[in-house]
Amino acid sequence: MLSIRKIGVIGRTYRHLTRYRQILGVFFKYGFGDFIERLKIDQYIEIGLQMIAKDRRPRVERLAGAQRLRMAIEELGPTYIKLGQILSTRPDLIPPDVLSELAKLQDHVPPRDYHAIRQVFEDDFGQFPEKLFQSFSETPFASASIGQVYQARLKDGEQVAVKVQRPGVNKTIEIDLEIMLHLATLMESHIEEMVLHQPVKIVDEFAKSLEREIDYTIEASNMERIAQLFLDDHTLYIPKVFRELTTSQIITMEFVEGVKVSDIQALSDMGLDRKRITQRGADICLTQIFYHGFFHADPHPGNIFVLPQNVICLIDFGMVGSVDRQTRENFVDLIENVVNKDDDGTTRVLVKLALWDDEPDLRILRKDVSEFINEHVYKPLKDIDLSKVLSHLLELTSRNQLRIPPDLFLMMKALGTLEGVAAQLDPDFNLISQSVPFLEQVKLNRYHPERISGDMMRLGSELLDFLHRFPNDLLEIARLAKQKKLTVNIRHTGLAEMRATNDRTSNRISFAIVIASLLIGSAIIINSEIPPFVYGISLIGIIGFSAAAVMGIWLLIAILRKGRL
């Protein structure tokens, strides 16, 4: 369980200051110095920005901001890489240009020493791996930012893969998250344009996602759930999880010897059918999404293996997606309206699917949707690139102040990734054609007698509940009105800024009146020749004029600072 707190006096420890300097140094290095200085960090952290190295890589300024951000994140290490990877699935939080750049992030993390890994077993099981397993390889065969994977053999001789969380990764993540939260708070306080992006919310969402990802018991549950859903499907194999050797930091699963789906030569050497593998893999992914609504959200080549007889094996279930029935049906409606070249229908369904704060201008949105349809639909199926369609859709929604929900984006991204894998295996394969039966089935399910009867029963139950409660609610309102206890709360929105503007205006007027009074009073005093005198001029009058001058300059600076006279 991650324990994240705001950095205050207690949090100003050496560990925070050292890491803070590293983080700020990297951001300065990649050309974000002006942005960092606007945060006014010196007011909150005892660290001078002048202490931070401001050297930058040659020609780094020529790169786009999104590219420089990705390079900075890669240099900052595991927590920030994982942040970027998770945010690359959140179009509701991140602009499209940054989104596509973050999707390129890769882990380049050397493995931890085996003696440190042994301590994780000691902490969780009270025993070292040599006691728990018949044999345990000291060298990992895979390593990432959060964990590394070892080959081992159980007491009964069965071969297993053991993924172990890096020692101390929780503490490192907590420190980085505390610093992220502090930086996000400063952004919202000092950079007006960042308020719209809600950086504090982004950090909070990231912390929740990361907490789920570093708990290996959740990954184990995901594996078991997918295996249960495909229990009768012999075209998919999910490695078995050994719960007795699984904790939040360690997951032990069956070791599967297969060929990576991207190793075309090995597939050919084994006599496997690439076309059949492609079709099966697509059917498995589409079944997860459109039939079950629970799917492996990262089906890249490294997570897909092929076993004898063209059986597909999926691994690494740290990232999964879930879409409810209504979202799936709305998505199918969206596709149907796009295929039918229905601008109005597509616009309506898109607004229904997306998230938004202020209702978009439907006229502008409809125009953009029409351009989207014209660009992509009037092509042969084989020429339609799902990745380009997804990218265009993100640009369209972002331009119209709409946001694609995270799980829906994960679903579309999984389909885009699947299309890329399929293109390597079978260049003639068309994912859109393969999807048609699944989309048709989603539409037909709406009219299934069991679905209709279920909807009717639920609607009847809700209506009955309403009819049961409504008279009582009406009587309660009448009773409160009779006893003069009925209150109506009216919430005004948008008045705070107007009130603040009025306060500033009245303060400036009052200030100006005081200045004018000082000027008039001082002039009267000088004219009346009231002692004491300085060079024949009344000292009290001079003091009055001086005070009026200082206050006038102060008022002028305050007005100019706001940019409005």
Report which secondary-structure segment, H or E, holds 446.
Answer: none
Task: Tell me the pLDDT tens digit for each residue of 437-471.
Answer: 998 998 888 888 887 888 788 888 888 888 888 88
104/478: higher pLDDT: 478
Query: Which range, of 224-228, 355-359, 417-421, averages the lowest pLDDT?
Result: 355-359
pLDDT level of residue 9 (50, 70, 90 thresholds): very low
Model confidence at 274: pLDDT above 60: yes
Average pLDDT, integer, range 329-352: 90
Model confidence at 285: pLDDT above 50: yes
Average pLDDT, integer, range 251-266: 92
pLDDT level of residue 253 (50, 70, 90 thresholds): very high
CB 216 within 8 A of CB 210: no
Task: Please report the pLDDT score of residue 162 as a whole number.
Answer: 95
Model confidence at 563: pLDDT above 60: no
Which burial class, exposed, middle or buried, applies to 150 when counting CB atoms under 10 A from its CB (0-12, 13-18, 19+)? buried
Residue where the block lists tokens 């040599």: 130
pLDDT level of residue 152 (50, 70, 90 thresholds): very high
Backbone angles phi, psi at 446, to 5 degrees: -65, -30
Model confidence at 560: pLDDT above 60: yes
Task: Please report the pLDDT score of residue 143 as a whole number.
Answer: 81
Average pLDDT, integer, range 207-214: 79
| Residue 141: strand, helix, or coil | coil
Question: Residue 23's closest CA among 1, 3, 39, 6?
Answer: 39
Task: Please report the pLDDT score of residue 8 as a whole number.
Answer: 46
Task: Please report the pLDDT score of residue 453 as a whole number.
Answer: 84
Return the structure tokens found at 497. Answer: 């800024």
Task: Please report the pLDDT score of residue 11 as a whole number.
Answer: 46
Task: Please report the pLDDT score of residue 15 as a whole number.
Answer: 58
Query: Which range, of 43-52, 364-373, 385-394, averages the lowest pLDDT?
Result: 43-52
Query: Which range, of 107-116, 186-195, 291-300, 520-529, averages the lowest pLDDT?
Result: 186-195
Model confidence at 549: pLDDT above 90: no
319/500: higher pLDDT: 319
327/85: higher pLDDT: 327
Positive or negative: CA dihedral 174, 177, 179, 185: negative
Model confidence at 496: pLDDT above 70: no
CB 329 within 8 A of CB 231: no
- How far apart, in whole angstroms, are the C-alpha atoms of residue 83 and residue 78? 8
Task: Please report the pLDDT score of residue 190 as a whole number.
Answer: 76
Could you check whether the bond before residue 532 is cis, i.e. omega within 30 degrees of 0? Answer: yes
Average pLDDT, integer, range 306-321: 91
How far the first Cα of the chain sits from its last, in Å, is: 53
Task: Please report the pLDDT score of residue 524 as a whole number.
Answer: 84
499/216: higher pLDDT: 216
Model confidence at 209: pLDDT above 80: no
Task: Tell me the pLDDT tens digit for each residue of 56-107.
Answer: 455 566 777 788 888 888 888 777 887 787 777 666 667 777 877 887 776 6
Looking at residue 357, the DSSP 8-state letter turns out to be S
489/166: higher pLDDT: 166
Task: Please report the pLDDT score of residue 10 as a whole number.
Answer: 38
Q: pTM for this one?
A: 0.71
Task: Please report the pLDDT score of residue 484 as a whole number.
Answer: 79
Task: Tell me the pLDDT tens digit for each residue of 190-201.
Answer: 777 666 667 777
Task: Please report the pLDDT score of residue 189 as a whole number.
Answer: 77
Task: Please report the pLDDT score of residue 477 as a whole number.
Answer: 84
- How far apart, in whole angstroms, are the C-alpha atoms of residue 165 and residue 124? 11
Question: Residue 200's closest CA among 27, 22, 4?
Answer: 4
Task: Tell me the pLDDT tens digit for each residue of 377-430.
Answer: 887 767 777 777 877 888 888 888 888 887 888 888 888 888 888 888 998 888
Task: Tell me the pLDDT tens digit for each residue of 497-543.
Answer: 677 777 777 877 887 888 888 888 888 888 877 888 777 788 887 88
Average pLDDT, integer, range 289-293: 93
Catalytic site positions: 298
Largest CA distance in the chain: 113
- How far apart, in whole angstroms, are the C-alpha atoms of residue 464 and residue 466? 5
Query: Which range, of 8-22, 173-187, 446-460, averages the lowest pLDDT?
Result: 8-22
